């Protein structure tokens, strides 16, 4: 797969998982004793997803980056995608005029 295709696939997968991760975490952890864990679990899941995806698709990191560097880069991509996913989900649900 070409580096450009790897980047496109990576960004699409990260945005889709970013949109879906918060509702899935909320669905699984919606209880009296676990509702405070929704956001930390979502961020941890997205960091792990970003790290795994960047190791699998090396074009998401700098060319020639070591595996450790790709993991660290992927963690940041995952956290950025979780923020982007929440914003995108908000706009999809509420529109640009607000809630």
Residue 65 near residue 51, CB atoms below 8 Å: no
Q: What is the pLDDT of residues 50-92, one digit of tens each?
A: 999 999 999 999 988 999 999 999 999 999 999 988 888 788 8
Q: Does residue 1 have a pLDDT over 70?
A: yes
Q: What is the pLDDT of residues 34-51, one digit of tens each?
A: 889 988 999 999 999 999
Helix (H, G, I), strand (E, B) or coil at 50: helix
Q: CA-CA distance, 2 to 93, in Å (whole number)?
A: 34
Residue 54 near residue 73, CB atoms below 8 Å: yes
In this prediction the pTM is 0.85
């Amino acid at each position: 797969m070409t580096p450009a295709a790897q980047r496109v696939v990576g960004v699409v997968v990260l945005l889709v998982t970013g949109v879906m991760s918060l509702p899935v975490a909320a669905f699984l952890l919606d209880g009296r004793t676990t509702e405070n864990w929704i956001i930390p679990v979502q961020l941890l899941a997205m960091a792990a997803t970003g790290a795994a995806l960047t190791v699998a698709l090396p074009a998401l990191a700098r060319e020639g980056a070591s595996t450790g560097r790709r993991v660290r880069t992927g963690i940041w991509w995952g956290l950025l995608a979780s923020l982007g996913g929440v914003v995108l989900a908000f706009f999809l649900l509420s529109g640009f005029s607000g809630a």
